Structure 1
């Protein structure tokens, strides 16, 4: 039997086509993959263990040249990063190779504290919005160029190294416009219209006395929430033109990540179809608004009108219309992005807040008591609502635990230096909030009674004469705090490197909108 087997093996070896080009290609491919894996592993080890005072974050080892980590990162990022975090252990800065592009990641309180203090360069740039609005919202390449050329920054005074004309300062102009919409009278008007319309939609849900099980509470509430906010922001025409606009918009949202990663049309045809349909509706809305709007249509508050929706959107048409080489289609793509941005994370945080409050009867009673004590009366006070400590703490805990965000940094002119790490200019740097928000070494858990991966409504509250209250383990206080009735105070100061739901708070005009709509829901 052994002799027979040996003869068979010998015959296979002798007769095998060793000169076959297919075999040669296969062997070469295996050698290339093995060499790539070995070289990247050695490089990672050398850089991560280096004691150099300044170094570029190490690239995580990969096997396939050029493609790198694109498959895992693109198809199943949650599982990919779960496995990656186990492999990385304590490495807090690293680089992924995705289709030939270097994407850097940074974690850790030590590093994040330096990011917030960094003043060496403008670390936000339209390079990122250009990438996003091109891939996700399908803006024409000629219009995207205006974003790519704008290196002036968001500040009122442009970067000294920039030669961009004032009317082409897209980063600054859109940021200021968004800030006007979501602060002061703009926010009050947006809230008033949203609250009125949302209340009407709630009444039309026909909720009866009997318990009815629904498969997805997010899906159940998303339509009235999104529809009401879109109407408050852009007026009623979107749903007049297409009654399925909100439905299609919600269907489109899950396609944003694969579109951002550059998935082709043949891979996600439904995502591209929905984007085209939504964009056409936005274009038609704006054609009608341009033809029909008159100054006399503006409401007595000086803000809302039935064509454009609000003053901020009207003003966008003016300054975006002056950008070089932009046409009405380019403006529509930008405003599609505005609609998406206004809805991003707002409603999911609101629904999670309701879920957490209503599943705990004692917490629900406390919230109702706080609202009753506020004594709003007939004149609703937004500032008073936003100052309620328990509601603030619940909201912050929802943002910490339930809303995962990735903050993107980008420097146009020079490298970003964070401690010993150097992030090359014109490269994307991502700061994921998740690791910071679940840092067991930082967050107060009352000696494990309220683990960081569970909801605790009081995590951000500091109680009088309670040295074990407050969000941080290391900053527990015994100072007498609270008001004259001994009630707790909401505390968010001193935790900027571990609580980053908005990234750079000064640069995020969405903060007040998210809080307000969250509380009112």
Structure 2
């Protein structure tokens, strides 16, 4: 390190000295002086050397461009050869590798610059029918975009692991202590109740199983209902304290408003209120962390973005302190039917069960548990809050849609003014709008890996230990896949359409080998009673993943999105300040594939407290 610093110091000293001399020279006016003679000698020498230097740069640039063009042409020819069905080996097709221009780096620069643009370009150029290899420096993975192939992977959940994606998130995003990473990597027991036959991992150390088991158990049934109702109650309290009366006020940024109030309510509902007493700036720090997830993933160095790393350090430190404080006040083993469903220290039984399971694992230090908790906060807020924003924004842009949505919502309002979240989640238009928001505004990557055997995807064989990546946004825009439900293509997949997931009486839900152009646009009256349906769309609509590893928090997220929309628009009149601003607002695709896509700009809204409840008619 010292030699590097010495070299850099010497370099900068020489550069500074050169510029200093030039500065003095530029001030020389008298061409008869000795200084002017020095200037003439320096300028001719410097320009001579500079000319050689620039000629060298030009030659090097030309050579580099030639190498890049040649590399691209050769890799393109090989790609076309590999993807040709006639190129068979032992009855199976080889995985074609995407063309690249830069030797050794392959597609790394394009992927790091903008994963979303890279994947969109790949889909538009090569289609989604076949899997293909992507290489980024020493890393290599297989992209799977075909609907049938995606379903094959989801059906093979027991044979596959999501370990590569998990280890990536732990090491790069959540800053899990390095000494704990091998513990996660060593768990080869799978996620099923019964471990793999060959596994020798101690039952208590089956961390992937315990993560899935506790989440599935405590994010469903009565526990889910209680947490959802608690969330809505806390959110109502948050909104009741707002300094908003029946006069219009302007919010400069609706998304920021939702970040603060929705995240506060969600964290309190899940983790208790004590964490805010211990760490008042939790929400502010979390959203700073969230907007730097891409930087952490790309390993942007700490010296380049020191504030971002300090925020993550502060989050982990304070979450660790809260964990120790919660243990001093509450017993995380108390998760029986007679124990409290929620307390202010740990919050829900979900948090207690997770913590209790981790305490049985000697490798799970306080730092590792803090990283796990940060990951849970990220998972429960990073997708839900952007989705809530877009749900509300689409309703504000279309008054007719807003009225229809609120009509369904108010039909679920109880006598005490609270909403029945279970009933909300059954209403067709509310659900269809929810599904459409997630289709367009969630962009996640799902990584699967077969550690022991090759994976067959139709005629293609993916070698074992090769990570297979599925991207929800690619699936959401794959027109060929969505043609199985012709009506879903009545509007372009790139556009938001709240009725895309509705099925009207007399319509068929699926038609194999059908294309939108073969079917007329369907027009329906408001009096018809459609139903919400995802039938036939497995492998197309995958914002929560699929198979055994489908997101266990999806039911709470649905309650959170529909409940927040219903409460906000029943308690307040809200309208956009500028309809043009609202219509032009686009999602920030730089966030893909890390989850919910935030808006690329701010949306100004006016709001006032309602004097009377909206009608459900």
Q: Per the shorter chain, which TM-score range?
A: 0.7 to 0.9
Task: Report the equivalent of 1:180.
Answer: 217
Q: Please say if residues 454 and 461 of structure 2, whose CA atoms lie closer than 8 Å, have aligned partners that are also in contact.
A: yes
Counterparts of 1:111-126 in structure 2 under 5 Å? Answer: 111-118=149-156, 122-126=159-163
Q: Write out per-residue CA displacement over residues 21-46 of structure 1, whole angstroms, 9 at most, x where no aligned residue.
A: x9999898677656644543333222
Distance 1:142 1:135 in 2: 14
Residue 568 of structure 2 aligns with which residue? none
2:345 aligns with: 307
Q: Quick check: 1:499 aligned with 2:541?
A: yes
3-state SS in 2 of match to 1:430: strand
Q: Which residue of 2 aligns with 1:456?
A: 497
Deviation at 1:357, TM superposition (A): 2.3
Instruction: Go from structure 1 to structure 2 and tell me whether the alpha carbon gap of 1:262 and 1:429 turns closer, same or farther (over 3 Å shift).
Output: farther
Partner Cα separation in structure 1 for residue 205 and residue 74 of structure 2: 45
| Residue ranges of structure 2 left out of the alignment (5+ in a row) | 1-47, 520-526, 565-617
Q: Is the 8 A contact 1:74 1:258 kept in 2?
A: no
Residue 277 of structure 1 deviates from its aligned partner by 0.9
Do the aligned residues in 1 keep the contact of 2:83 with 2:94 (CA within 8 Å)?
Answer: no
Q: Tell me if 1:75 matches 2:113.
A: yes
Q: In structure 1, what is the equivalent of residue 131 of structure 2?
A: 93
- Equivalent runs, 1:348-359 vs 2, <5 Å: 348-359=386-397
TM-aligned CA distance change 1:125 to 1:78, over 3 Å? closer
Write the distance in 2 (CA, Å) between the matches of 1:240 and 1:49.
62
- Name the residue aligned to 1:487: 529
Tell me, yes or no, if the aligned pair for 2:162 and 2:447 is still in contact at 8 Å.
no
State whether residues 125 and 151 of structure 1, in contact with CA within 8 Å, keep that contact through their aligned partners in structure 2.
Answer: no
Q: How far is 1:428 from its partner?
A: 2.1
1:45 to 80, 94, 99: 80
Are the equivalent residues in 2 in contact too, given 1:182–1:510 (CA < 8 A)? yes
Q: 1:31 to 1:351 in 2, by over 3 A?
A: closer
Match of 1:435, SS state, is helix
Query: 1:238 is matched with which residue: 268, 275, 300?
Result: 275
The aligned runs of 1:363-382 (5 Å cut-off) are 363-374=401-412, 376-378=414-416, 381-382=420-421
Structure 1 residue runs of 5 or longer lacking an equivalent are 1-11, 478-484
Q: Note closer, same or farther for the CA distance 1:148–1:315 as it changes in structure 2 (3 Å cut).
A: same
**Distance between the aligned counterparts of 2:456 and 2:167, measured in 1?**
24
Q: How much does 1:460 deviate?
A: 1.3
Aligned length: 496
Distance in 1, Cα, partners of 2:558 & 2:121: 34
1:466-488, Cα deviation, whole Å (9 max, x unpaired): x37889994999xxxxxxx9622
CA distance in 1, matches of 2:155, 2:476: 20
CA contact (8 A) 2:449 2:465 kept: yes
Equivalent residues of 2:142, 2:467 under 8 A apart = yes
CA distance in 2, matches of 1:282, 1:316: 15
Q: Distance in 2 between matches of 1:207 and 1:118?
A: 52
CA deviations 1:378-416 (Å, max 9, x no partner) are: 586443232222211111111112222222212222222
Matched, 1:220 2:229: no
The secondary structure found in structure 2 opposite 1:405 is strand
| The structure with more radius of gyration | 2
Instruction: Give the conservation status (yes or no) of the 8 Å contact 2:412–2:420.
Output: no
Change (3 A) 1:359 1:28: closer
Distance 1:290 1:186 in 2: 22
Partner of 1:481: none
CA deviations 1:3-55 (Å, max 9, x no partner) are xxxxxxxxx9xx989xx9x9999898677656644543333222122422423
SS class of match (2:291): helix
Q: Deviations over 1:187-240 (max 9, x none)?
A: 122212211221122123323555555454222211111111111111223322
Of the three residues 218, 230, 235, the one matched with 1:193 is 230
Using the alignment, how far apart are the partners of 2:512 and 2:291 within structure 1?
34
Which segment drifts farther, 304-313 or 90-99?
Answer: 90-99
Within 1, Cα distance between the matches of 2:449 and 2:148?
19
Q: Secondary structure of 2:82's match?
A: helix
Offset of residue 100 of structure 1 = 0.9
Q: Distance in 2 between matches of 1:61 and 1:173?
A: 41
Residue 392 of structure 1 corresponds to 431
Give the aligned partner of residue 509 of structure 1.
552
Matches of 2:155 and 2:489, distance apart in 1: 32
Q: CA shift at 1:437, angstroms?
A: 1.6
CA distance in 1, matches of 2:396, 2:509: 24
Name the structure 2 match of 1:146: 183
Shift of residue 166, structure 1, vs aligned partner: 0.6
Structure 2 residue corresponding to 1:430, chosen from 463, 469, 476: 469
TM-score by length of 1: 0.85
1:332 is matched with which residue?
A: 370
Aligned: 1:342 with 2:380 = yes
Single out whichever of 507-516 and 108-117 deviates more from structure 2. 108-117
Q: Which residue of 2 aligns with 1:8?
A: none
Distance 1:447 1:220, change over 3 A: closer
DSSP-derived class of the 1:66 partner:
coil
Report if the CA contact (8 A) 2:472-2:543 is conserved.
yes
CA contact 2:161–2:450 (8 Å) conserved in 1: yes
Deviation at 1:90, TM superposition (A): 5.9
- TM-aligned CA deviation for residue 455 of structure 1: 2.1
Report the Cα offset of residue 173 of structure 1. Answer: 0.3
Please tell me whether the aligned partners of residues 68 and 102 of structure 2 are also in contact (alpha carbons under 8 angstroms).
yes
Name the structure 2 match of 1:383.
422
CA-to-partner distance for each residue in 1:344-364, whole Å, 9 max, x for gaps? 311221221122223322222
Whether the 8 Å contact between 1:233 and 1:310 is mirrored in structure 2 is yes
